[in-house]
Amino acid sequence: MINGKVYDWESITIGLPYGVAIAVSGIDYDDELSAELAYGKGAAPIGYGNGNYQASAKLTLLRDEFDKLLDYAKSQGKPLYRLPLFPITVSYANDGERTRTDEIRGCKFTKTSNKAKQGDTKLEVELEVLVTGQIIRDGVRAI
């Protein structure tokens, strides 16, 4: 933080397979490593065991940006849901500070939602993303 300025939406740059996405109105991504307590004699746990790692992501694009994604799929000769696995990068930067980048590896689009109604001032497309890899946060692996 410099002079009290924290990250905000303007601080974020999102990279998709065709380049930097400008007309993005939202991104959500999360991951987890499940863990379960292990019990032996008595009522208290004696340790734990790890389960599976799972990550997911969701993008909200303005229709104009979604059209760029469709153009990219056409240029690759692939349907949207058949694009090869790709990374999504999310970079955070404030003036005077170093850029921090999260990489969501092994992404694949699995669902597209379009909504429009009378009075809308913009059209958005929501894309659900299957994450077959992991999320690397500023160079730190999740597992």
CATH number of the domain enclosing 121: 2.30.110
CA distances from 21 to 4, 9, 41 (A): 28, 13, 55
Domain presence at residue 4: no
Residue 8 reports pLDDT greater than 60: yes
Domain presence at residue 126: yes
Domain presence at residue 1: no
| Structural domain count of the chain | 1
Domain presence at residue 85: yes
Domain presence at residue 127: yes
The mean per-residue pLDDT over the stretch 60-85 comes to 97
Q: Residue 42 contacts by C-beta under 8 Å, 6 or more apart in sequence?
A: none
DSSP at 122: S
pLDDT at 97: 83
The mean per-residue pLDDT over the stretch 23-41 comes to 96
| Confidence class for position 69, pLDDT limits 50, 70, 90 | very high
Domain presence at residue 142: no
pTM: 0.89
Residue 3 reports pLDDT greater than 70: no
Residue 5 reports pLDDT greater than 80: no
pLDDT at 37: 96
Domain boundaries, position 46: 9-137
Residue 1 reports pLDDT greater than 60: no
Domain presence at residue 80: yes
Q: Which amino acid is at 128?
A: E
pLDDT at 2: 61
pLDDT at 95: 79
- CA nearest neighbour of 36 among 17, 51, 52: 51
| Structure-block tokens of residue 59 | 């993008």
Domain presence at residue 3: no
The mean per-residue pLDDT over the stretch 81-98 comes to 92
